[in-house]
């Protein structure tokens, strides 16, 4: 049985479903923090799909839901480019339409199916969502920003699944939960079942609650042993908070450098073992410009503490520029190892072809960087102990594969150097930081972060935000700095998670499931099934 509306009722319900889904979806993503909205955000849309909507209204409302939701999620990006924000949101909205189309194909067929059929069908719908999230890692020059799993960044109980499946498993769980709730509501209000056990308390609802119960069990099962946390070091973060429009002003380069040095001396006076600088902290490269190298080494020797820094690098032999991470210590000066950013920001750090001739229409760009090719772990020695640091610059922590590659190479700690001052003092910095939580859980590695103006803090290996630097007004945006003490759990110091070792096996499994279910309910698949039934 499917939902039957009069024509005007169908239009009203479609609009209400689109608005409700879009609003709940946006509210579930940081900085809003309404994580529970993700469990029901798509229920209105899925209920609408039971009615087999078609025609222009289907396409327009599906695109409007996706485009409007992504525009709201990425609204902070307008500080860099309005045109780019609108175009990117439209492209992401188009991918959302593909998922809605797949769900529209399956949902009406599953309404009256058996429970096992609904189970696999809902898994395919959730799997299609995951596949689109995975594809965004490679499409559009790579933009896997804000997966649905991001909504749970402050809910470590649900996130532990990511140590096996990656964050994709969490996104799968949320969409699957939405499908089960939508079927329960449809069963109760469309079929009007008066019996409690077959009405609200349907097998689908039991399954949804059971999946959450499994996450709770997994959380307690994976808890580290009491007293197994080991303090590693205390990091002091320097936040120079230089506005982006002034940061690369050549007339203010020396003034910006003096601000950085002044704040560094202040933070060094606090109790800490190592200092952290944000992305591209100095106006000239520390690697490739001898005068800048000497000045930073002099500062390090003055404060008598190593500085792990985001820094530009320049190779005179090849005339190539890099956005990277370097270490300068009082004992050995500038480390030979220099991490080069592997995933550059399109239209920000390089211009993809064929847009190189019209780049100024999208975002101002003054030159391009060359990408790095390997994790280039940095050996940080503190109090006689060596720690392998895996660096991630700016939005590199959005890419699961980069953090995993560093963890597989032996990284024990992730260091994220970023500059979110480009995006104003809205939700961009917090939304960005939430991705580091996913990377921490996936690989069971603590993440230390240093931002030009915030978000600076650290996240433990189970995805719990331990400390965030705030000013006296409780804001993450300020000039100054502070310290936090980083710890790790003994069992994970030299051990890798299932996800770190095996990667996106879950995505491959989901792709197979979607293919099988899609074939099963396609005209060809149904035809073959009927033929077998007839023969029998």
Domain ranges of the chain: 7-223, 229-500
- What's the pLDDT at 359? 52
- What's the pLDDT at 112? 82
**Residue numbers of the chain with a pLDDT score lower than 70:** 1-9, 190-201, 353-367, 523-536
**The dihedral of CA 356, 361, 363, 364: what is its sign?**
positive
CA angle 302–304–309, rounded 5-degree value? 90
What is the separation, in whole angstroms, between the first and last Cα of the chain?
Answer: 27
- What's the pLDDT at 463? 96
Q: Are 249 and 462 in contact (CB under 8 A)?
A: no
400-409 vs 428-443: helix crossing angle, rounded to 10: 40
pLDDT, tens digit, for every residue of 169-200? Answer: 999 999 999 999 999 988 877 655 555 555 45
pTM (2 decimals)? Answer: 0.91
Q: Which residue from 389, 392, 401, 388 is spatially nearest to 499, judged by alpha carbons?
A: 401
**The dihedral of CA 312, 316, 317, 318: what is its sign?**
positive
349's tokens:
């750090």
Neighbours of 350 (CB within 10 A): 17
- What's the pLDDT at 190? 67
115-135 vs 505-521: helix crossing angle, rounded to 10: 130
Q: Is 46 left (phi over 0), alpha (psi -120 to 50) or beta?
A: alpha
- What's the pLDDT at 381? 94
| Phi, psi for 305 (deg, rounded to 5) | -145, 145
DSSP 371: P
CA angle 271–274–278, rounded 5-degree value? 115
333-334 and 378-382 beta bridge pairing: unpaired
- What's the pLDDT at 1? 41
- What's the pLDDT at 189? 72
102's tokens:
């797949």
- What's the pLDDT at 391? 97
In CATH terms, the superfamily for domain 229-500 is Carbon-nitrogen hydrolase (3.60.110.10)
505-521 vs 82-110: helix crossing angle, rounded to 10: 50
Structure-derived torsion over alpha carbons of residues 17, 18, 22, 28, reported in degrees to the nearest 10: 20
pLDDT, tens digit, for every residue of 430-472? Answer: 999 999 999 999 999 999 999 998 899 999 999 999 999 999 9
State how far the Cα of 457 lies from the Cα of 400, in Å rounded to an integer. 20
State how far the Cα of 156 lies from the Cα of 463, in Å rounded to an integer. 6
């Amino acid at each position: 049985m499917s939902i039957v509306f009069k024509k005007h009722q169908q239009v009203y319900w479609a609009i209400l479903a689109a608005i409700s889904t879009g609003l709940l979806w946006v509210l579930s993503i940081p900085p809003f923090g309404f994580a529970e909205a993700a469990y029901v955000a798509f229920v209105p849309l899925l209920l609408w799909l039971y009615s087999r909507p078609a025609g222009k209204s289907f396409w327009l409302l599906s695109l409007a839901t996706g485009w409007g939701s992504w525009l709201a999620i990425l609204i902070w990006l307008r500080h860099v480019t309005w045109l780019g924000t609108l175009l990117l949101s439209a492209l992401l909205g188009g991918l959302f339409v593909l998922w809605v189309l797949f769900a529209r194909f399956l949902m009406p067929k599953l309404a009256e199916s058996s429970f096992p059929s609904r189970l696999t069908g809902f898994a395919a719908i959730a799997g299609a969502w995951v596949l689109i999230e995975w594809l965004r890692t490679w499409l559009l020059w790579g933009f896997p920003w804000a997966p649905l799993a991001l909504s749970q960044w402050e809910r470590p109980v649900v996130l532990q699944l990511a140590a096996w499946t990656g964050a994709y498993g969490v996104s799968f769980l949320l969409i699957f939960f939405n499908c089960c709730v939508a079927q329960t509501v449809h069963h109760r209000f469309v079929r009007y079942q008066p019996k409690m056990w077959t009405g609200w308390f349907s097998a689908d609802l039991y399954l949804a609650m059971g999946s959450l119960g499994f996450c709770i069990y997994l959380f307690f099962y994976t808890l580290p042993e009491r007293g197994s946390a080991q303090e590693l070091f205390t990091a002091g973060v320097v936040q120079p908070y230089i506005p982006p429009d002034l940061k690369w002003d050549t007339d203010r380069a020396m003034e910006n450098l003096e601000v950085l040095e002044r704040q560094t001396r202040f933070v060094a006076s606090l109790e800490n073992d190592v200092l952290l600088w944000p992305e591209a902290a100095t106006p000239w490269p520390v690697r490739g410009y001898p005068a800048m190298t000497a000045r930073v080494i002099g500062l390090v020797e003055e404060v008598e503490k190593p500085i792990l820094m985001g820094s530009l690098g320049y190779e005179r032999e090849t005339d190539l520029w890099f956005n990277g991470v370097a270490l300068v210590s009082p004992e050995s000066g500038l480390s030979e190892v220099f991490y080069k950013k592997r995933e550059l920001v399109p239209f920000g750090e390089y211009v993809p072809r064929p847009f190189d001739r019209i780049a100024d229409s999208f975002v101002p760009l003054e030159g391009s960087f060359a990408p790095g090719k390997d994790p280039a772990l940095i050996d940080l020695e503190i109090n006689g102990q060596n720690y392998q640091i895996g660096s991630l610059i700016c939005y590199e922590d959005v890419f699961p594969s980069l953090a995993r590659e560093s963890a597989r190479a032996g990284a024990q700690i992730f260091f994220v150097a970023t500059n979110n001052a480009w995006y104003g003092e809205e939700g961009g910095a917090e939304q960005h930081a939430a991705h580091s939580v996913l990377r921490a859980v996936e690989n069971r590695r603590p993440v230390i972060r240093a931002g030009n103006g915030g978000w600076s803090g650290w996240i433990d290996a189970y995805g719990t935000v331990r400390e965030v630097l705030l000013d006296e007004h409780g804001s993450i945006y300020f000039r100054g700095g502070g310290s936090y003490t980083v710890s790790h759990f003994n069992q994970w110091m030299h051990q890798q998670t299932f996800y770190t070792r095996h990667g996106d096996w879950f995505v491959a499994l989901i792709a197979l499931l979607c293919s099988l279910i899609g074939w099963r309910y396609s005209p060809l698949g149904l035809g073959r099934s009927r033929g077998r039934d007839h023969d029998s």
